[in-house]
């Protein structure tokens, strides 16, 4: 099965960056622009990993995480949190909500790929 990654970020630039980043790998990238949309896509598509922005309009990353943890179908889905706010308070909050890892924006691409690769297999399309 091709692993599926759901990217949830209100910034289209970041969603396109992730699309470029994961294009060389045998995985399917899904996307949503806020937590509310993300929750709907996650419930419908059951992704193998969610890359979730912390600060978003409509429903932010923390609110979405709380909803996910109440949903039996999503509570075990691994989440990597993307955040521009590297304050200890926000990191402590996401740790309590069981995120698998976090990446502070701006990030180096290899850092994010490394953290994703520890959760799902990232196999190059050129060398399956």
Partner 1 sequence: MTPASHQPDLRRIGASAFTEVLDTLLSLSATVQESADDRPVSAAPDEISSSVLLTGQRLSGSVHLRLPQTFVACSVRRLTGLDVDAGNAHELQDDAAGELANMVAGRVASQLAADGYPCKLGTPSVSHSARLATKNPNGVINARTDLICEGHWLSLEIQCCYADP
Give burial (CB, 10 Å; 0-12/13-18/19+) of 5.
buried
Q: Residues in the site for partner 1, rule: CB under 8 A?
A: 10-14, 16-17, 19-20, 55, 57, 83-89, 104-108
Q: How far is the CB of 91 from partner 1 (least distance, A)?
A: 11
**Is the separation of the CB atoms in 30 and 5 below 8 Å?**
yes
Peptide bond into 60 cis (omega under 30): no
Q: Which is nearer to partner 1, 105 or 115 (CB)?
A: 105
Spatial CA neighbour of 82 closest among 59, 120, 48, 56:
56
**Is the separation of the CB atoms in 35 and 61 below 8 Å?**
yes
Q: Which is nearer to partner 1, 77 or 104 (CB)?
A: 104
Q: Which is nearer to partner 1, 97 or 107 (CB)?
A: 107
Q: How far is the CB of 7 from partner 1 (least distance, A)?
A: 13
Q: How far is the CB of 81 from partner 1 (least distance, A)?
A: 13
Q: How far is the CB of 19 from partner 1 (least distance, A)?
A: 8
Give Cα 110 distance to the centre of its chain.
15
């Amino acid at each position: 099965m091709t692993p599926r990654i759901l990217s949830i970020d209100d910034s289209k630039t970041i969603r396109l960056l992730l699309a470029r980043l994961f294009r060389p790998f045998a995985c399917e990238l899904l996307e949503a622009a806020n937590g509310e949309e993300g929750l709907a896509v996650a419930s419908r598509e059951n992704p193998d990993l969610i890359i979730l922005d912390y600060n978003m309009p409509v429903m932010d990353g923390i609110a979405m995480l709380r909803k996910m943890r109440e949903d039996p179908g999503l509570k075990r889905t691994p989440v990597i949190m993307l955040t521009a706010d590297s304050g200890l308070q926000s990191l402590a909050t996401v740790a309590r909500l069981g995120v698998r890892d976090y990446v502070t924006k701006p990030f180096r691409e290899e850092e994010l790929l490394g953290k994703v690769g520890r959760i799902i297999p990232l196999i190059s399309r050129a060398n399956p």
